[in-house]
Amino acid sequence: MSDTLQKTEQRPSVPLRTPQLPRIAPLLVAVIALAVGGLVTVVAGSGLVALSVVAWLVFVIGLSVWALAVEGRRKATDRLITSLVWSTFVIAMVPLVAVTWEVISKGHAALSADFFTNDMVGVLGETNRLTGDPGGIKHALVGTLMITATATLISVPVGVMAAIYLVEYGKKNRLSRVLTFLVDVMTGIPSIVAGLFAFSLLTLMFGPAYRSGFGGSLALSVLMMPIVVRATEEMLKLVPDELREASYALGVPKWRTIVKVVLPTAFGGIATGVTLAIARVAGETAPLLIIAGSTTVTNWNVFSDRMMTLPVFIYSSVTQGGKYAAIQEERAWGAALVLVVIVMTLNLIARLLGKIFSPKTGR
Amino acid sequence: MAKSIDVSDVNIYYGDFLAVEGVNMSIRARAVTAFIGPSGCGKSTVLRSLNRMHEVIPGARVEGKIVVDGHDLYGAGVDPVAVRRQIGMVFQRPNPFPTMSIYDNVLAGNKLNSKRMKRSEADDIVEKSLRGANLWNEVKDRLGKPGMGLSGGQQQRLCIARAIAVEPEVLLMDEPCSALDPISTAAIEDLIHELKSDYTIVIVTHNMQQAARVSDETGFFNLKATGEPGRLVEFNPTTKMFANPDDPATEAYISGRFG
């Protein structure tokens, strides 16, 4: 006992406390950096960009040097990298916040009950010449919902079943490798090409000048399908083989195992992937412009006649110009806000589905 | 309902790789047969070939005869699904279905095959199987809760309940206790003793004390040499195997001089 005591006394004690910057140090440096930036801006008479660049440089260098002087190299590196990581995060957030702010601030004025219940038939400028109702986006909203829903109906069964083939049946055989490659290629198809595909296909079948919402759905499902296949594939791969084996060992045939064990286990992830795929195509413009066309009438039938969609509505309103450019632009921003809200809602639904259907432990 | 299994001249392959060579043995009905041996010698492979689970792995195949009740499992026209309905299996890691409650997990074998039954009938099967697996008293008040919420040992007993709910002839267990603590292991060993009266049980284990405790007969598997296929070295009653083995390699393995 005394031996060990002596030993501990002999060993040089390692200091556990090292000098540290005060907790408010980053804040302090930030304030000083902003002040320096402001001063430079006033003296040189430059704008906001210069101010933030100067302030950022002063902050990063100042904090690192101070930390180096007081805390040592390791902590100084830590502070430097931390500042850089935060800076890139802020830079990444700037466009997102700016776009959201822009859309909300310019779009909210256009929103009203009439905006959702009226279409643009006979509307020139403010109101309908005959009824006096203000114009709205009913036709575009209906078109977007119908076309996207039809595209989902087409691509989800095909995509999910293709993924089931790839993961469960075609385990790394030649066909499944070729299919996987083609799906990867399809992911990169420009949307305008998908539009041209639907356009030429339907023109061949139904003659020239054919326009319909269904064509738009076809084009969108060309874009959706690879996303659905990919998402489903990844989710199915995550289902452990042990569950499949457990099911086989109970004498359950393969197809029942897939339908009743594998798919339910992966359902949350698949639903999330599908919802994200819908959100991804809901904002497509180019293919719809080609094949679904542009109109002022509310059309509930996807299989005949032109159909307006929100992105195309935004496009045509902004590019119309002329005497009523101002009111048209306001409507475009309103439609943009509605579109953003739809996409965000879909994303939230995706998260919710993922949460609801993930396997529970019940603890 | 228990049945014996006769294995003759069985070679088991993974693709071109011969994993186990020339296995001959006969597994008695209403008895516990243990497979022991070092890792990678093919114990689990042989076990999985007994209910055609081996071929689930791409490229895997079996040569030779495995005869249960006069039927060759690998004969022409034999449906592997029908084989697995008669020969149940419990795996190394507990694998209850995560989307199902405890109740549904026990009934999985029936429900997944869309067997129609009355509520009271289903309740009876659940209670009987859970009692059979020594789990009833622990879970009877929370049958609707997810099976994943149970402890590891309870999950493994749930998997055993699930396997005996379809009333198989034979129960295969692939290292059922290797992921469990000693208390859960003891619970499962007790259970194996009880199940012996109704089922033919084959168990793979790394734990020689466990083999000595639970089994009536033991098969010792070993590799001829590194890179060579595994083979059955000795198959004897457990008492003989652990007291006076025929093969010197068995004695060396059991006494801990190698392996």
The per-residue pLDDT for range A32-57, each reduced to its tens digit, is: 999 998 888 888 877 888 888 889 99
Task: Specify if A362 maps to a domain.
Answer: no
State the pLDDT at residue B1. Answer: 53
| Least confident among A129-133, A146-150, B127-131, B250-254 | A129-133
pLDDT at A149 over 90: yes
Task: Specify if A8 maps to a domain.
Answer: no
pLDDT at A257 over 80: yes
- Residue B226's alpha-carbon distances to A268, B17, B40, B109, B219, in angstroms, are 45, 14, 10, 40, 20
Contact predicate B187/B18, CB 8 Å = no
A88 and A128, same domain (yes or no): no
B contacts of A361 (beta carbons < 8 Å): 146, 148-149
A contacts of B88 (beta carbons < 8 Å): 249-250
The reply to whether residue A261 touches residue B97, judged by beta carbons under 8 angstroms, is: yes
State the pLDDT at residue A8. Answer: 54
Chain B: nearest CA to A359, how far in angstroms? Answer: 5
State the best of A247, A252, A261 to mutate against chain B, taking most chain B CBs within 10 Å.
A252
A37 and A184, same domain (yes or no): no
Contact predicate A332/A107, CB 8 Å = no
Mean pLDDT by 10 residues, chain B (259 residues): 84 90 90 90 91 88 89 88 90 90 91 83 91 88 89 89 89 88 86 88 90 92 84 91 89 79
Of B53, B83, B114, the CB nearest to A245: B53
A148 and A202, same domain (yes or no): yes
A contacts of B162 (beta carbons < 8 Å): 246, 250
Task: Specify if A118 maps to a domain.
Answer: no
Distance CA B121, CA A172 (A): 43
The number of distinct structural domains making up chain A is 2
Task: Specify if A110 maps to a domain.
Answer: no
Tell me the residue range of the domain where A63 lies.
20-99
State the pLDDT at residue A178. Answer: 92
Task: Name which of B171, B84, B165 is nearest A253 in CA terms.
Answer: B84
Once rounded to an integer, what is the mean pLDDT over residues A156-161? 95
The strand pair at B170-174 and B200-204 is best described as: parallel
Contact predicate A215/A207, CB 8 Å = no
The reply to whether residue A256 touches residue B112, judged by beta carbons under 8 angstroms, is: yes
Of A246, A253, A267, the CB nearest to B95: A246
ipTM: 0.87
A135 and A91, same domain (yes or no): no
State the pLDDT at residue A123. Answer: 78
Sign of the four-CA dihedral B141, B143, B147, B153: positive
A282 and A169, same domain (yes or no): yes
State the pLDDT at residue A211. Answer: 86
State the pLDDT at residue A340. Answer: 92
Distance CA A26, CA A79 (A): 9
State the best of B50, B99, B114 to mutate against chain A, taking most chain A CBs within 10 Å.
B99
A305 and A194, same domain (yes or no): yes
Task: Specify if A321 maps to a domain.
Answer: yes
A332 and A230, same domain (yes or no): yes
A132 and A257, same domain (yes or no): yes
Chain B: nearest CA to A259, how far in angstroms? Answer: 9
A239 and A349, same domain (yes or no): yes
Model pLDDT for residues B175-210, shown as the tens digit of each residue: 888 877 888 888 889 889 888 888 899 999 988 889
Task: Count Cβ atoms within 10 A of the Cβ of residue A146 and give its class: 0-12 exposed, 13-18 middle, 19 or more buried.
Answer: buried
Of A261, A267, A363, the CB nearest to B112: A261
Task: Specify if A78 maps to a domain.
Answer: yes
Tell me, what CATH number does A168's domain have?
Answer: 1.10.3720.10
Q: Is A256 on the interface with B (CB under 8 A)?
A: yes
State the pLDDT at residue A1. Answer: 47
A contacts of B81 (beta carbons < 8 Å): 248, 251-253
A92 and A151, same domain (yes or no): no
Task: Specify if A105 maps to a domain.
Answer: no
| Three-state secondary structure of chain B | CCCCEEEEEEEEEECCEEEEEEEEEEECCCCEEEEECCCCCCHHHHHHHCCCCHHHCCCEEEEEEEEECCEECCCCCCCHHHHHHHEEEECCCCCCCCCCEHHHHHHHHHHHCCCCCCHHHHHHHHHHHHHHCCCHHHHCCCCCCEHHHCCHHHHHHHHHHHHHHCCCCEEEEECCCCCCCHHHHHHHHHHHHHHCCCCEEEEECCCHHHHHHHCCEEEEEEECCCCCCEEEEEEEEHHHHHHCCCCHHHHHHHCCCCC
Model pLDDT for residues A165-208, shown as the tens digit of each residue: 999 998 778 899 999 999 999 998 999 999 999 999 999 988 88
Contact predicate A210/A203, CB 8 Å = yes
Pick the last residue of a domain from A55, A84, A99: A99
Q: Is A240 on the interface with B (CB under 8 A)?
A: yes
Task: Specify if A82 maps to a domain.
Answer: yes
A87 and A142, same domain (yes or no): no
A-B contacts (CB, under 8 Å): 89
A302 and A343, same domain (yes or no): yes
